[in-house]
Structures are given as C-alpha cells and as structure tokens.
Amino acid sequence: MGNTKERIFTFKADADLANRLDGIANKSEFIRRALLAALAQDCPLCQGTGVLNIKQRRHWEHFLTMHTLERCHECNAVHFVCNDGHRNDLQ
C-alpha cells in the first residue's frame, strides 16, 4: 500500500440501520465495500450529488423531450429509449 494511511470516518445511523448493522460480523469491511460500490455507480449527470444545477436541469429537460424511460420486458430493468424512431435495445 505504500505510504497511504488509513483514516477513520464516522456517521450517524438511525435505530433501524444501527440494528441491521449490528447483525453484520465485520461492519467496517461491509461499509467499505458498500461505499465503493455506491461510488462506482454515480449518476453521470449529477456525479453522485443527487442535485442538478439550473444549467444541468435545462439539459435534462431537453433530453427528456427526446427520450422516455421504459421497463425492459426481459430483465425488468428501467432504461432510456431514444424517441427518434430507432430502438437501440440490447441484443
């Protein structure tokens, strides 16, 4: 690992989350893995903030005029479909 030092982060948890975490043998490892998984799946538009600024919002609204969200009838995943008449379904 070289010269990287581990740092400690803390967070508050409500009673339900705390009780669920109590049932996990290695809480630190579980939380590390969950955070890494979540960070690897950031929304490309808001980059994980969960908020769009006014300029991003305008682009998003324009995007939605040309795309719709649909549920895949095979895998049940929600995905965007371009409304230009060409479906780009996964084969």
pLDDT of residue 49: 86
Q: According to the model, what pLDDT value does residue 90 have?
A: 46
| Total domains in the fold of the chain | 1
Domain limits for position 34: 15-82
Distance separating alpha carbons of residues 59 and 42, to the nearest angstrom: 18
Considering the domain boundaries, does residue 66 fall inside one? yes
DSSP-based three-state secondary structure for 70: strand
Is residue 33 in some structural domain? yes
The residue with greater pLDDT, 4 or 17, is: 17
CB proximity list for 52: less than 8 A, separation 6 or greater = 45, 46, 60
Residue 89 lies in a domain: no
The pLDDT tens digits of the residues spanning 23-81 come to 999 999 999 999 898 888 888 888 888 899 999 999 999 999 999 999 999 999 999 99
Report the helix count and the strand count for the chain, using DSSP H and E. 3, 2
Which ranges constitute the DSSP H helices of 1-91? 15-22, 27-39, 54-66
CA distance 90 to 78: 13
Structure tokens at 86: 């060409």
In the chain, the amino acid numbered 55 is: K
Residue 11, token pair as written in the block: 């967070």
pLDDT confidence of residue 44: 84
Query: According to the model, what pLDDT value does residue 85 have?
Result: 57
